[in-house]
Amino acid sequence: MTEMKYYRPETLEQALDFLDAHGARTEILAGGTDVMVDVRSGVLHKETLLDVSRLAALKKIEMTDAGLCVGSGVTLSEINTSPLIKKYAPALGKCSETFASRQIRNIATIGGNVAHASPCGDTIPPLVIHEARAVVANQNGVKEISMDAIAAGAYQSALAAGDIIVKFILKPREAGFADFQKIARRRALAISRMTMAVMADKDEAGKICFVRFSLGACTPTPHRMDAVESFLMGQNPTHELLRGAGTLLAEKMVEITGRRSSIIYKEPAVQGLFMRMMYPMVGWCEK
């Protein structure tokens, strides 16, 4: 059944014009890895696919005064091979290593991953720890939305019809320690049950002088865990400390999710993954 129309704008302005006129009836198409699945299952009821996959304005990875800018149309493969991202946002680079499959990484975009607002979006925790702002454009201009605000709920992005994410601005940091880890049911092509991203630095005494941490996939929307960060700040990262932070993390998670059946696993697992990811820091205070 031929229901939908297709429009491929040449410029971002053309895209915005179109969205201004038809935004509510338009689905933005970038990589297609979510959109085409929805088309197949018949849940997509939009008039037009707006193909932004070739808009140069969305494809840049660059360092500006504002920060590390990653275009919304940048693919996970491009993230994977970007020297800028490896240097200034290594957790984002790491998440691209385990993202779905190579075939999907070659077309899936960071913008699509965020806009889809799936709780399991792997790019989200790294964006959160870099205090990323999504630069969202519409016909009326440009606004910046924080990662906390961009997801209104599971699968509900805060974006309005007529909005398009242009890029993400990350606070770059060449952190001494940075990582992204996930738990899934198999080692490739698997939706994450739990993800975490961290970056941290130590001072001359080996104490934590900077830390950013985010938990993903087990809460409906992404969360930067301030309480955990505060707990860790200024401390020697001992095994004890990490255990304490993990316990606190679990508490905070349960506060958000409530006690559901999956908590039986997630409560210890979140502590376990936290310990596993953060453990390399334990050597700091011993030097």
Partner 1 sequence: MDQKKVDIQFTLNAQKTSVRIPVEMTALQVIRDVVGFKGSKEGCGIGECGACTIEVDGKAINSCLMCGVQLDGREVLTIEGLEREEGLHPIQETFLEHHAVQCGFCTPGILMSTHALLKENPAPDDEEIRDAVSGNLCRCTGYQQIFSSIKAATPVKDDSFFHTGDAENTLKKSQVFADETSSSMVLNGTKKGENNGEGCHD
Partner 2 sequence: MKNEYKIVGKSIRRKGALEKVKGAPVFCADLKLDHPLCLRAVRSQRHHALLKNIDVSKAVKIPGVVAVFTAADIPGINLMGIINKDQPLLAMDKVRSMADPVALVAAQTPEAAALAMSAITVTYEDLPMIFDPEEALAPGAALIHKKGNLLCKRTIQKGDVDKAFKKAHVIIEKTYRTSAIEHTYLEPDAGAGYVDDDGTLVIHASTQNPHYDHKEVVSLLGVTDEKVRIIQAATGGGFGSKLDLNVQGFIGLALYHLKRPVRCVFSREESYLASSKRHPFVIHMKTGADAQGRLVAIKMRAVCNTGAYGSYGIAVASRAAVHGTGPYEIEHVDMACSAVYTNTTFCGAMRGFGAPQIALAHESQMDLLAQALGIDPLSIRLINGLKKGSITATGQTLTESAGFNACLEAVNPYYKDALETWVLSEPSPFIKRGVGLGGMWYGIGNTGVQNPSTAKIEMDRTGRVTLFTGCADIGQGSTTILSQIAGEILGLSPDDVEMVVGDTKYTTSAGATSASRQTYISGNAVKDATDKLVNVLLTQAVNRLKVKKSYLKLSNGTVYDGRNPDKKVTFSWLAQRILDRGGALSWQGYFDPETVPLDLETGEGVPYATYAFACQMACVEVDTLTGEVLVKKIVAAHDVGKAIHPENVIGQICGGIAMGVGFALMEDFVPGKTESMKDYHIPTFKDMPEVIPIIVEDTEPSGPFGAKGVGEPALIPTAPAIVNAISHALGERIYQLPASLERVLEASITAGHFNK
Q: Which residues bind partner 2 (CB under 8 A)?
A: 1, 183, 185-191, 193, 264-265, 268-269, 271-273, 275-276, 279
Q: Which does 275 bind (CB under 5 to 8 A by kind): partner 2, partner 1, none?
A: partner 2
- Residues 6 or more apart whose CB falls under 8 angstroms from that of 108 comprise 31, 33, 75, 76, 99, 100
As measured in angstroms, the least distance from the Cβ of 83 to partner 1 is 17
As measured in angstroms, the least distance from the Cβ of 240 to partner 2 is 12
As measured in angstroms, the least distance from the Cβ of 24 to partner 2 is 26
Q: Which does 5 bind (CB under 5 to 8 A by kind): partner 2, partner 1, none?
A: partner 1
Would you say 22 or 171 has its CB closer to partner 1?
22
Would you say 123 or 192 has its CB closer to partner 2?
192
Would you say 221 or 271 has its CB closer to partner 2?
271
Determine how many CB atoms are found less than 10 A away from the CB of residue 6. 9
Q: Are 225 and 213 in contact (CB under 8 A)?
A: yes
Closest CA to 229 of 131, 94, 97, 89: 131
Residue 20 to residues 24, 29, 57, 161, 263: CA-CA distances in angstroms?
Answer: 9, 16, 18, 8, 43
| Number of separate helices (H) and strands (E) present in the chain | 12, 14
Q: Which does 103 bind (CB under 5 to 8 A by kind): partner 2, partner 1, none?
A: partner 1
Would you say 27 or 251 has its CB closer to partner 1?
27
